[in-house]
Chain A
Amino acid sequence: MRETPMSNCERDFILKAIEERKRLDGRQTYDYRRIKITFGTDFGCCFVELGKTRVMAQVSCELVAPKDSRPIEGIMFFNIELSPMAAPSFETGRQSELSVKLNRQLERCLRNSKCIDTESLCVVSGEKVWQIRVDVHVLNHDGNLMDASSIAAIAALSHFRRPDVSVQGNDVTVYGPEEREPIPLSVYHMPISISFSFFKQGTFLLVDPSEREERVMDGLLMIAMNKHREICSIQSSGGIMLLKEQVMRCSKIASVKVSEITELINQALLNDKMARKAGERCGFAESMPQERITALKMDETPVEVTDAAETANEIISAAEDPPQTAASPVVPLPGVGQVGNGLKNSWGLDEEEEEEEEEEDEEEDEDKGMKTSQQSDRSEGNVVEISDSEEDEVIVLNPETSCTAKRSDSSCDQKGAATSKKTHKR
């Protein structure tokens, strides 16, 4: 199926909005969309959501003969699948230009940076080595596939465990997971790709372009970096001229983003490990108790509101205390306990539409409470979410961020007010 054409009015509007420093989804220039990392029940399976972009990475291994030129090194193999499920314009079975580009970039990002110790994958020199295969499936395309794929691939590689082997003479024995504990790969560092899109011949820069932004951008710069601020690969496409300062600025932004995302991956890995150790439900199993097919996919719709923070502050300060009713524990769902009504919701966007009881007056409060309790539930499992709204504080790169800094300050105020309110309530 052919791609939906982009109309002139969309193009003009997006460019105009970018000139006014606005984005369609209400993000700031350097904001990432919400990143969510989930691991499967198996080792080496990782789902990454970047806004509406969804990517799954699966790592598998196999004993093969090594390459003649490198007899003591294991083999890394990367493959990106773009199926029509992701976007109707993708075709199966044919290597499109985009998939070749993504594949190449992923290889450069992960293999050529030597983030995995390939020598430890050698079993018998010159005869048997492990081949590690990383399959990245794009489930939904809403822009910035490269970043999502690189996060998914490195998280899946860090999560993966290969079977233990022993060598006696010429015999190689592979032990199943029951006989011997599988061995994790040795990951030296985590290269993560960060995409920057340029508009109007490099005048405007955006981090994490969405699908529509990707279609109107003039150029793209992808920087793969690890948290030690070592650049693993850098690629510019689209044929625009970039100044040295622009690249330097991008690399500075990238270093901030990479350290955040690395932290997130580590947290997700840690959560998954704890959940597995405790024998709790992990991976997709956590979606089972709710018995909803959409349980893994909860969308929050962002709404762009100008000076929202100030008005929210006013509303919070003007609002009366929520009614002190339910003092006894409420069980809205099996497996979710809740005391009190939680914070008064000042936003009115709820994810839990299905459970809401419309006739209740304090329905908003209830929902909010449910949401927070669920989120805390989940953070015990292996899902970590960050929202990137107030991270601008760390970036002080150019003088015009003063307004954004102010904005994040005020949002911090709001947060502070909210939490103080909450503690007061509990």
Chain B
Amino acid sequence: MALIEDLKQRVGSVLLPGDEFFLPTEDNLTLTELRRPERLVFGPGLRRSGGRLTAVKGGVLRHKEPNVFWIQSQQKRYVPAKGECVVGVVTAKSADVFKVDVGGSEQASLSYLAFEGATKRNRPNVQVGDLVYAQFVVANKDMEPELVCVDSSGRANGMGVFGGGGLMFTVCLGLVRRLLSPSSTLRVQLEALFPGELVVGMNGRVWARCADVTRTLLLFNLIQSCESMAPTQRDELFRRVQQGAL
């Protein structure tokens, strides 16, 4: 198919909103040959309407076998997606749910029963302004997003209320993915500097805590400056920090 070839050629190149590809229109159907239409999957940033495929985000075109294409962009706006773990701020308490700000267009709700060991009698101790690490179980454009702090077997699995003494800040979503990716060199470099705790939510919020305020601040500034640095520059910076701070 011509479209796939065209797309594959441009993998790794930068696309801008409005860049177009044309889907081929089948002029004459062959009745003799049995052909299975190839399945194409378009991820974030690509939108298909009729016979046209348009880029709706600026970024680098990525490809995954067999036929999955998406645009990797440096955006800050978070759109909730089911299954993603995020860092939220509790903004209100009502009868049976907490309202949690996750940085999306709407606040998410978090039931007080969705904590490990919570029952009707035994309510979790959550205050307004607390940070929670939680997972989306409902996230679609028509409904209020819903969070839980337990996994399918009812264990907390690292989720729940956290955040004493650390600092929360917001970075772009691309950096969050880089921090979380198993093959990330950034995290390895951070680990090599000094011990610290890091909570990374897919919504771009990162919480950091080190032994003292100075180091936490240093970690915060390092992560923030990584947003706009090439790997070589980053290496240089980390090297200097290691020499300078320790």
Contacts and interface: CB of A to CB of B under 8 A. Distances in A.
Contacts of A8: 127, 129-131, 163
A301 B243 contact: no
A5 B225 CA distance: 24
A312 interface: yes
Interface stretch (B44-52, B138-146, B175-183, B228-236): B228-236
Interface stretch (A151-159, A243-251, A356-364): A356-364
A22 interface: yes
Nearest to B222: A303
Contacts of B164: 9, 12
A1 B103 CA distance: 11
A7 B131 contact: yes
A17 B244 contact: no
Contacts of B165: 9, 12-13, 16
Contacts of B216: 13
A350 B222 CA distance: 14
Given A9-B166, A347-B240, A304 B214 contact: yes
A342 to B, nearest CB: 16
A9 B101 CA distance: 15
Q: Which interface residue of B127, B207, B217, B232 has the most chain A CB atoms within 10 A?
A: B217
A280 interface: no
B189 interface: no
A304 B218 contact: yes
Contacts, number: 109
A394 interface: no
A8 B167 CA distance: 10
Given A304-B214, A349-B233, A7 B168 contact: yes
Contact of B167 (A10, A26, A302): A10
Contact of A353 (B217, B221, B233): B233
Interface in A335-353: 346-350, 353
Interface residues of B, number: 39
B68 interface: no
Contacts of A363: 232
Contacts of B214: 20, 22, 304, 306
Interface string B204-222: 0001000001101110111
Contacts of B220: 24
A363 B241 CA distance: 19
Nearest to B103: A4
A358 B230 contact: yes
A9 B131 contact: yes
Contacts of B103: 4
B237 interface: yes
B89 interface: yes
A91 B122 CA distance: 42
Contacts of B229: 349, 353
B225 A303 contact: yes
B168 A308 contact: no
Given A7-B163, A303-B237, A16 B213 contact: yes
A393 B9 CA distance: 59
A278 interface: no
Contacts of A347: 240
19 contacts: A7-B129, A7-B168, A8-B127, A9-B164, A11-B129, A12-B164, A13-B216, A25-B221, A301-B221, A302-B221, A303-B218, A303-B221, A306-B214, A315-B243, A348-B240, A349-B237, A358-B230, A358-B232, A364-B236
A-B pairs, top 4 by smallest CB distance, nearest first, are A348-B236, A301-B225, A8-B129, A9-B163
Interface of A: 1, 4-14, 16-17, 20, 22, 24-26, 299, 301-308, 311-312, 315, 346-350, 353, 356, 358, 363-364
